[in-house]
Chains A and B, each alone.
Chain A
Amino acid sequence: MANALEQIKSAIAGNKIMIFMKGNRNFPQCGFSAATVQIFEQLGAPYETIDVLADPEVRDQVKAFSNWPTIPQVYIDGKFVGGCDIVRELYETGELQTMVKSATGSAAAH
Chain B
Amino acid sequence: MDKNNKRLFIHRDMKPVTLENSVEIILTPQFYTFIRETLEIRFAYQAKQIAASLFDDYLDHATEYQYHVNKCQDQWCFFAYNIEEIDQFLESVGIEKHRVSKIYFAQELESALAEPVLLSEQNILQTIDGTVTLIPRQLMENDMEFNQLNIANEKLSSGITMGASLNSFISLKETILLSSLLCILGAIFIVEGTRIKSSVANDEALVSELLKKHPRYDDSDFRMTLLNKYQPIKKHEISKRQTIKEISKLLSTKSQLINLTIDKKNIKATIKASDSNVAKQVTRNANAKKLKNSNSGLDVKVEKRI
Q: Do A and B bind each other?
A: no
